[in-house]
Structure 1
Amino acid sequence: MIRLPRWASRHLAALRALAVLTVVTGVLYPLAVLAAAQLPGLDDQAEGSLIYDSDGDVVGSSLIGQSFTDGDGEALLEYFQPRPSAAGDGYDPLASGASNLGPESVVDALPDPALGWDGDENAAKSLLTQVCERSFAIGEREGVDGSRPYCTPSGGTAVGAVLGVYRSEGTSGEVVRAVSLNEECGTVEAPFIAAYGGARVECAAYGEDHSAAVVTPIRGEAPAEPAVPADAVTASGSGLDPHISPAYAELQAARVAAERGADERAVLQLVEEHTTGRFLGFMGEPAVNVVELNVDLDRAFPLT
C-alpha cells in the first residue's frame, strides 16, 4: 500500500472538503431556496413583488416607489403623489439613501445672486427650507393652508423663518443686530418680521459671515397641526418607500377625483382598500401604497 506524504494527504483532504461544500452551498442550498420561493404566498415576493397593469405589462414593484410627474418634473394632477425622495433623481434603486439632513439644518447656504440656486453648486437649502417649500407647494396644489411652524412665505414660495441674532455679550445680553438668514437681499422686499428684540431685522447679504450670530428660529402663527402631513414634505430613510399616510392620500382625493371626473367618495373608497394597518396590530403606522393605488386608479377610473 502506497502511503502518501503528509503534505499530499492534507491537500487531498482540503480538496474533498472544497468539493463537498461546493455541492452543498453552491448547488443544493440555492436549489432548496428556489424551491421554497415557489410555494404559494412566497412566489410573488421571490419574483420582485411585481405590479401589472390591465394589459398584463409590468409597471413597477410594490416595494419601490415611483414619481408621477411630467417631462418637466411637475406633478401629474390625475395621480396620487408620493412623498419626496432623496434617492438620486427620485426613487432610484441604485442610489438608495436619505439627504442626511437633521433637525438642526435650518440655515440655507445662499446662492451667488449672479448664478442663482440652479447655477451655484455651493448653494444648498436647509432641511427646514425644503420642508417649507414643499408644504407651501402642496397647499397650493390641494387647496389647503400650506403654512407650518418656523416657515414664512418668501418670493412666491416659502423658507425657514430663522434669524441670526447678535447680542451685546455674544450669546447673551441685548440684541444689537438681527438678520433673516434665509432671505437674501434682492429676492424679498422686506424680511418676514420688521424687528426683533428692539433691533431692525435685515435681509441676508450673499457672502456675509453670520457664524457669530445666535441662530434663532421663529415659530410664527401657523397652526400646531399643519394641514399638510409630515410624510408629504419629508423623504424616507431609503428614498424608495412607496407608502404615504392615509391622511396624505385623503388630502389628495378631491383633486384626483376632479381630474378624472370621478366621484370623490369612490376614490376615497379605493384609498381605504389600499390602506394597510399596523403590523401585528401595534407596530408601525397605517399606510397606503401609492404605486398600487395609482395602478388600480387607472383600472377603476381610466383617463379619457
Structure 2
Amino acid sequence: MRALAASAVAAVVFTVVLGFAYPALVTGFAQVAFPRQANGSLIVRDGTVVGSALAAQGFTSARSFHERPSATTPPYDAAGTTFSNLGPTSPALAELVARNVRAILTLERPYNPGLTIHDIPVDAVVPSGSGIDPEISPAYAQLQARRVAAVRHLPLATVRRLIARSTAGRSLGFFGEPGVNVLELNLALDEEQDG
C-alpha cells in the first residue's frame, strides 16, 4: 500500500512540475526574452496578419518569388511539418528533383535564356528539413529576379536591391548560410509598387 501511495504522490508531483510549472516557466521566459519568436514571428500589414516569418506560404504566382519545394501534405501546411525522409540514393528523390528541375526550367527559362540545370541552386529543387522553410538562398532569389521584374514591370536593379536588402547573413556570423525570407521579400516588392 505504501508503494502505491508513493507512486500516486510521484505522479501528482511530476504532473504539476512537468505538466504545469515547467511549461509556464519556459513560456514566461520566452515571452520576456524572445516575444516575437514566442508568438510565431507574425508579419502584420494594415492590421492584418499576412503570415509568419518562420513558415513558407506557398507562393505560386509568376509575380512572386517562390520558396523551396514543400515536403508537407498538403503543400506548405504548417500544421503538418515533416521531412521527406528520402535518402540520396532514393529513386523517389531523383524523380522529385527531376520534376522540380523541369518546373524551374519551364518557369524561369523565358526570362533567363540559356538557363541550364547546372544554373539551378539545390534549394530550388529539394525540400528543406522542415518542409516549409521560409528562406531561399540568395542564388535562388537571383535566379527568379528577372521573372519577377518582368512580370511586375519593375527595373531589374530595383528587384536586386530588394533581394540584397532582404538577405540575412549567417546566424551569429558563422552558423548556416545567408538566406532570403520569401514572404518579407514579396511584401517589400508589393510596397515598392504601391509606394
1:144 aligns with 2:137: no
Residue 96 of structure 1 corresponds to which residue in structure 2?
A: 82
Find the aligned partners of 1:230 and 1:244 in 2 and give their Cα distance. Answer: 10
Aligned match of 1:288: 180
Deviations 1:38-79 (A, max 9, x none): 214x11111112222x2121122222112212xxxxxx1211
Take 2:152 and 2:104, find their aligned partners in 1: how far apart are those partners?
A: 24
TM-score (norm 1): 0.55
Distance 1:142 1:24 in 2: 59
State the 1:103 CA deviation. Answer: 4.6
Letter matched to residue 33 of structure 1: V
Q: Which position in structure 2 is the counterpart of 1:84?
A: 69
Cα separation, partners in 2 of 1:289 and 1:237, compared to 1, 3 Å: same
Counterparts in 2 of 1:81-230, with a 5 A limit?
81-93=66-78, 94=80, 96-98=82-84, 100=86, 102-103=88-89, 105=91, 126-127=95-96, 129-148=98-117, 226-230=118-122
Paired position in structure 2 for 1:244: 136
**Residue of structure 2 equivalent to 1:20:** 13
Instruction: Give the counterpart of 2:37 among 21, 39, 45.
Output: 45
- Cα displacement (A) at 1:18: 3.6
The reply on whether 1:302 has 2:194 as its aligned counterpart is yes
C-alpha distance in 1 between matches for 2:24 and 2:85: 39
CA distance in 2, matches of 1:18, 1:89: 39
Bigger proportion of residues as strand: 1
How far did 1:248 drift?
1.5
Q: Is the 8 A contact 1:145 1:227 kept in 2?
A: no
Q: 5+ unaligned residues in a row in structure 1: which ranges?
A: 1-6, 70-75, 107-123, 149-225
Higher share of residues assigned helix: 2
CA distance in 1, matches of 2:8, 2:96: 57
Q: What is the alpha-carbon distance in structure 1 between the residues aligned to residue 63 and residue 155 of structure 2?
A: 13
Q: What is the identity, as a one-letter code, of the residue corresponding to 1:105?
A: P
Partner of 2:32, secondary structure, is coil
Report the aligned-residue RMSD.
Answer: 2.8
Alignment partners' CA distance in 2, 1:245 and 1:295? 18
Which consecutive residues of structure 2, in runs of 5 or more, have no partner in the other structure?
A: none
Match for 1:277 among 160, 166, 169? 169
Q: How many residues align?
A: 194
Distance 1:277 1:32, change over 3 A: same
Equivalent position of 1:267 in the other structure: 159
TM-score if structure 2 supplies the norm length? 0.82
